[in-house]
């Protein structure tokens, strides 16, 4: 059964890992705004040319353009539904997404928050960096405790209002993001299979 969901959680919470599993096991399509913008930039479409022009100037792409990209994808459809990744990030974007889904006769079936312990996340990132160094592999720029702490603060500042917004609508479901990957996947499956 087709489901449209939003995965919320701070950087390092495992959203990407869980989204990949949902794509593989349920035929869902992951709509990552970053990926969509990069693809649009090279697509040659009118919208793509507008995206390229804005990004080449180093400016931020407007919500209207991102909604336009999402609308294109929704029109193409997905057998298992869509995973919104990196969007919405603000209340204005959440309203715009809700209005778009209404126009398309679709619903938002769940907003799943991967609840994590921030200190444990920072430790996880530091361990990942140490393991990369020990293996002689390059350390990702984000795998730095200070950079990561800054990204966490930014996430909570911008995204925290969405938690209250979706909670008030009865859409928010919380999953323990600190559990093992399989346990998190099982908890997400339980949310999706309910109702």
* C-beta neighbour count of 157 within 10 angstroms: 9
Q: Which residues are catalytic?
A: 15, 89, 128, 140, 151
Cβ atoms of residues 121 and 176 within 8 Å: no
d(C-alpha 166, C-alpha 84), whole Å: 14
d(C-alpha 62, C-alpha 133), whole Å: 39
Burial annotation 68-105 (CB, 10 A radius, 16+ → b, else e): bbbeeebeeebebbbbbbbbbbeeebbebbbeebeeee
d(C-alpha 151, C-alpha 28), whole Å: 28
Cβ atoms of residues 5 and 84 within 8 Å: yes
């Amino acid at each position: 059964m087709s489901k449209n969901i939003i995965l919320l959680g701070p950087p390092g919470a495992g959203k990407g890992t869980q989204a990949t599993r949902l794509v593989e096991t349920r035929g869902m399509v992951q709509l990552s705004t970053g990926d969509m913008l990069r693809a649009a930039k090279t697509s040659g479409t009118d919208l793509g040319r507008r995206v390229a022009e804005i990004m080449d100037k180093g400016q931020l792409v407007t919500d209207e353009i991102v909604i336009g990209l999402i609308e294109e994808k929704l029109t193409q459809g997905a057998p298992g539904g869509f995973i919104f990744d990196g969007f919405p990030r603000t209340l204005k974007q959440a309203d715009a997404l809700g209005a778009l889904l209404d126009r398309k006769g679709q619903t938002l079936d769940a907003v799943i928050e991967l609840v994590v312990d921030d200190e444990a996340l920072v430790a996880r990132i530091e361990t990942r960096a140490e393991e990369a160094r020990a293996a002689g592999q390059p350390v990702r720029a984000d795998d730095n405790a200070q950079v990561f702490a800054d990204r966490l603060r930014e996430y909570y500042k911008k995204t925290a209002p969405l938690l209250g917004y979706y909670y008030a609508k009865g859409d928010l479901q919380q999953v323990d993001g600190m559990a093992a990957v399989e346990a998190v996947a099982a908890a997400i499956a339980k949310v999706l299979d309910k109702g």
